[in-house]
Amino acid sequence: MRYAICVQILMLIIFTGFASKSQHLSYFGRRLSNMKPFKEIILFMKESRIAKAIIEKHTCYESHVRMFWKSARYEEKEKTIYSGVQKKDGNGKNIDVEVKITVGNVRRVLDLKDSDDDPIVIPERLCKGLWFRMGYSGHVNDKYIKSRFCRPYKFLVHCVIYALSHRKGAYDETSDYIMNIITSLVLNRPYNISQVLFNHMIDNVKGEKYLMYPRFIQMLLDDQIPDLPKDSTDKLKLLHMISETLNRLNFYRGMKEDQEPIIKGKICKIKNPDYEAPENNAWRHDNILVC
């Protein structure tokens, strides 16, 4: 029963790396027959501290996001991104409105439940130790790719990449900070996701200024300026995760069935909601019963 309810309300996972008129979205607004291999990961993500960032449905408007990035600038002294958008005044005329984005805004609006005191780097050795506990079948020194995980953990990595990555592509490959985020969630370790996202926003302001994180930007704009004009013809199209997407995650290209990564059971916080992280940068407790 819990699984059925969970699937009915889950899941919105937006591809926030960049935007165009077509943007990837995963919304499980109905029960899909091929959800079963992923149900435990879905429950885990629903209860995680990134739940709002990956689940909340929020309509994006291309002109708002484009104008934000076009006029954005970063002031190091204030640790603030300044930008501007347009809205209507009482007489129906367009007026410029200033927007100020700090890491605190990102933390509050996305409800990431981290703090400025949390680290933005988790030791690589710790991440690798956990990932091999999760059944990673690739080489220890190669690039980490999601297709080297068994189905449930492949789904977890896929969701975090598509929801939180700043990239325009290479969605099979896992960057260091994505590894850090997943490690922090599974081991229940502190990690400053807000600062990491904000740092990528700063890099974009100083660089290409492509339409990075469109859903997050729209959420931040609507938080500060609730009465921004909304034009239905200006909406960014969000493509749903459908059965075909799940079928691809169920499939291992170029591998025979007996070569596929071995299914690993639940561990750490996925297994126990009250799980406490091991001390001293360990990826498991000495007591094997605690995991």
Burial class (CB in 10 A: 0-12, 13-18, 19+), 139: exposed
Task: Say what the pLDDT of residue 290 is.
Answer: 58
* Cis geometry, peptide bond prior to residue 11 (ω within 30 degrees of 0): yes
Task: Note whether 228 and 68 are within 8 A (CB).
Answer: no
Phi/psi-derived region of residue 268, left when phi > 0, alpha when psi is between -120 and 50, beta in every other case: left
What residue spans define the domains of the chain? Answer: 2-271
pLDDT value of position 187: 97
Per-residue confidence (pLDDT) for residue 138, from 0 to 100: 82
- Per-residue pLDDT 10s for the chain (291 aa) are 444 434 333 443 433 344 443 334 444 444 555 567 788 888 999 999 999 998 888 899 999 999 999 999 999 999 999 999 998 888 888 899 999 999 999 999 999 999 999 999 999 999 999 988 998 888 877 777 887 888 888 889 888 988 898 876 666 778 899 999 999 999 999 999 999 999 999 999 999 999 999 999 999 999 999 999 999 999 987 655 555 666 666 666 656 666 565 677 899 999 999 999 999 899 998 866 556
Residues 6+ apart with CB under 8 A from 175: 165, 167
Q: What pLDDT does residue 174 have?
A: 85
CB atoms within 10 A of CB 283: 23
For position 128, what pLDDT does the model report?
92
